[in-house]
A and B are shown apart, each in its own frame.
Chain A
Amino acid sequence: MPYAPAIVEQDRVGEDRVTSFRELFEQAASLAVRFVEHGIQKQDRIALVLPKTTDAIVSIFASLLAGAVYVPIHPRWPRERIETTLADCAARLVIEGDENSPLRITDRKTRASIPWTAALANPADTAVANSLPRADAGDPALILFTSGSTGRPKGVVLSHRAVSAFVKWSAREFQISSRDRIACPSPLSFDLSTFDIFNMALCGAACVLVPGHSVWMPRFLVQFVRKARITCWYSVPSILAGMLEEGRMAQDDYLGLRVILFAGEVFRAQDVARLQAAVPQAVCANLYGPTETNVVTWYRVPQGFDGSQPLPIGQPCPYATVTTDATSGELLAGGDSLMSGYWNRPEDTQRAFVNVEGKRYYRTGDRVSRAPDGNYLFLGRLDRQVKRRGFRIELGEIETVLAGREDILEAAAVAVDDAKMGAVIVAFVRTRSAGAVSLIEAKAHCARTLPLYMVPDHIVFLDAIPKGSRGKIDYIALSRIAETLDQAMPNQSSPKHAATNHAANDAAPNNVAPNNAAPNNVAPDNGDQDRSPAVHR
């Protein structure tokens, strides 16, 4: 058992680098000791600005063994966003490095560094581990930063209790054992990765890291699943849909794959049916829950699911309590997996929770209904949050960033449903003068501040942003324009659009045709600035 593989990582030439449980523990414990010797206190934040590597996993366990809180930050985020996040969570240490630069651990205050590879004086043993501080169940274990509607990412604080409630349940429910090889396809900054990493530690399964560059290349991913003999898979539906569509998953044998879990966005029912047909021996389940609650409901896809009905989000996990707001139909989620709150944001935290009969519930913002068989069905959002490949996006954050650029006076963003892309984001901007900002400049501006998945797919320049009678942005009118644009797109990566917006063509003005969608010629030329270009009633 101590020599069984804990982490499997493919190196640059495609060879497996295997780390045993013993090595993982020794490395993590020795690093934890160095953290403590450096003066790291319980609940100090240790930021991991690292790609998904063995070293990153070692850093996670080292942070936890030292009683500290790990804050995974995607290294491909724009520098500015990384710095803001480090400052926001007041990280004590930052661990950085990638294939081109060696790992370095820096104290953000003193700029002192801690060596990554300090030779162990004595191999770490249980005595070493016992000398380390021990976190309590209610102490924070990690902070995950997610899009915030006001333009600044919010840190979701998750306790040891919250993480272990989900992990222990999933281990039991899906019978994870030391025979399993669990893929880790999600970035560490994504809550789905807790399943992969902590089931490895809890059940003695191997955690096989999926190289970041393969995740969106379905062809390679399909090969990877087979070659790496993956038995358990948990990802966002978009990745699975890509494997079915582009990777020709159905034509291959995946006899080893026995558990397929997905969460983070709606998986089209017909794709679920195709997935089940392609991998008939596997248990497929839809897991539901925002980052703030982790998984709170789940639905096991029944054998022979034909995809004619939407896939329910199912029934509560045993550690969760779920109810709905009678008026709005909003799903309220409580129980052990609940976040402790947003980092350093008491008002947001207070707004996020509601008390029902003396119990604390998180307002998910998701509208649901309940089927006669007790299963919950997801109906939609109550606010302007959208999901794109499982990533959560507040459209308001994109607007704030765009409007922050010089010469952009106003910005509004909408999302359009797209069969392949999940959601296509279209931003509308009004500039100081025609041509003041080019499309490339506007996109580059977004990419400097936002993660790539939040950069709008299309940016449309308008002379006037459509407004309602009270001067509020008319998002419905903008959505109609966006749908027209998206339908007309000859997009190679999304040849077919599911959106059947009959209304779109007649609703949008004829001067919004994409072939003349050059900057500032899409608004009506009647000079009526207050009138919505899409409202010609």
Chain B
Amino acid sequence: MEIKTAVRQFIAENVLLGIHQTTIEDTTPLVSGGLIDSIGMIGLVNFLETRFKVEFVPREIDVHSLNTLDQIDELIRKKLASQGTGAAGSSQQTR
């Protein structure tokens, strides 16, 4: 699965009013660039948890560590890898 594509799509639909022709680069700052704020972050985290079956702990939801597609991609990959080794049992409920 292509993490960046999914996140790009989510942001285009939820943040950019469906304006797909506006490009979000892998390094476009999402938070410090004003695209996502605290509430938007809740939506994004919910989306990531549901879509990729991962679970976040509070410390990871620092707006500055989820600031770009690159960072999100890296974090999700790391989480999936640790789940693959059975480190995290996903008992997460989806809404």
Identify the A interface with B (CB < 8 A).
12, 14, 76, 211, 213-218, 220, 242, 246, 389, 421, 438-440, 443-448, 450, 452-453, 455, 458, 460, 485, 489-493, 514-515, 517-519
By the criterion CB–CB under 8 Å, are B18 and A514 in contact?
Answer: yes
Whether a CB of chain A sits under 8 angstroms from the CB of B74 is no
Q: Which residues of B contact A (CB under 8 A)?
A: 10, 13-14, 16-19, 21-24, 28-29, 31-35, 37-43, 45-47, 58-59, 61-63
Distance in angstroms between the alpha carbons of A448 and B32 in the assembled complex? 8
Give the A-B pair count, Cβ closer than 8 A. 87
Q: Would you call B17 and A216 a contact (CB within 8 A)?
A: no
- Set A215, A246, A455, A490: member contacting B37, Cβ < 8 A: A455
Inter-chain contact B46/A217, CB cutoff 8 Å? no
A452 touches B31 (CB 8 A): yes
**Nearest A residue to B46, CB-CB:** A492
- Kindly list chain B residues whose C-beta atoms are within 8 Å of the C-beta of A491: 14, 43
In whole angstroms, what is the CA distance A447 to B64 when docked?
14
A521 to B18, CA, bound (A): 14
Q: Are B19 and A517 in contact (CB under 8 A)?
A: yes
Q: List 16 A-B contacts (CB under 8 A).
A: A14-B59, A211-B58, A438-B22, A439-B16, A440-B23, A443-B33, A443-B35, A444-B34, A447-B34, A450-B34, A452-B37, A452-B38, A489-B14, A490-B13, A490-B18, A519-B19
Closest to B93 in A: A248
Do B29 and A514 touch across chains, with their CB atoms under 8 A apart?
A: no
Give the shortest distance, in Å, between B64 (CB) and chain A (any CB).
9
Contact between A489 and B41, CB atoms less than 8 A apart: no
With A440-B24, A444-B29, A490-B13 in contact, is A216–B38 under 8 Å at CB? yes
Asked whether B17 lies within 8 Å of A489 as measured between CB atoms, the reply is yes
Contacts of B40 in A (CB 8 A): 493
Inter-chain contact B58/A440, CB cutoff 8 Å: no
Please give me the 3 A-B residue pairs with the lowest Cβ-Cβ distance, nearest first. Answer: A447-B34, A493-B43, A216-B38
Q: What's the minimum C-beta distance from B65 to chain A, rounded to whole angstroms? A: 10
Whether the pair A515, B18 counts as a contact (CB closer than 8 A) is yes
Q: Which residues of A contact B38 (CB under 8 A)?
A: 215-216, 389, 452-453
A246 (CB) vs chain B CBs: closest residue: B42
- List of A residues within 8 angstroms of B45 by Cβ: 217
Q: A216-B38, A517-B18 are contacts. A444–B33 as well, Cβ < 8 Å?
A: yes
A370 to B24, CA, bound (A): 51
Contacts of A458 in B (CB 8 A): 17
Cβ contacts under 8 Å, A217 to chain B: 42, 45, 58, 61
